[in-house]
Structure 1
């Protein structure tokens, strides 16, 4: 088989899937089906409009929190803590061993540490002048 390297000007979802397919197959052959499923815990206003919340996915018995957002005017009201508590409840209910996430230096590391998360990795200068932190909470 002859292979060539190309760099598309505008990568597509199909390009991503083409890269992901052999990786997914290999991972499944080594570690089994990750049983990936999305998790959403939403914040809605009085009109039923989603204004924030938590978005993540469960895979290989861990919940990864990809996004957590509380509208600025509602911060400090316990909504972030409530979102994380519901996510933890869901993770425990389906048998996860823990939750992991990442946050930037200018975001919420202290918030997560107050919830029992511990640091397991850091990337300096991401973005330049700041750090990105990776945290986990094992059950």
Structure 2
């Protein structure tokens, strides 16, 4: 057996890993859950000229939606745009049938913002990135 590390994996090799875990999961989950397609979407805040001033990148699978990235331009911060983006994101996630949201934020980013919106810290990664803490948060959708 050879152990190989690569930063350029072949698409077909990655598919074998995906298919393998799906096969394993079938022992514990129904086929409609095992073979459910990931949902990828974004929410944008744009000015009247179509310039992106902020947004959210997200994906979801099973019953969780993952808020991967949230960014706001300097001129939109502390103006309510972030809350509007998260509200639109949560509404879309709920319409798609997701029950929970999870996300991460770093100590110099937006923990108080998320907590104000009802998110709860469920874990911490100290010194990630070095000198800071990453907080893992979740929220149940109603």
TM class, shorter-chain normalised? 0.7 to 0.9
Partner of 1:5: 3
Question: What residue ranges of structure 1 are gaps of 5+ in the alignment?
Answer: none
- Output the CA distance in 2 between the equivalents of 1:101 and 1:76: 20
Task: Say whether the 8 Å CA contact 2:53–2:76 is kept in structure 1.
Answer: no
Partner of 1:68: 70
Partner of 1:88: 90
- Output the CA distance in 1 between the equivalents of 2:46 and 2:107: 27
Number of residue pairs matched by the alignment: 136
TM-score by length of 2: 0.84
CA RMSD of aligned residues (A): 1.9
Which of 19, 24, 39 does residue 26 from structure 1 map onto?
24
Question: What residue ranges of structure 2 are gaps of 5+ in the alignment?
Answer: none
Which SS does the other structure have where 1:92 is aligned?
helix
Q: CA deviation at 1:13?
A: 5.8
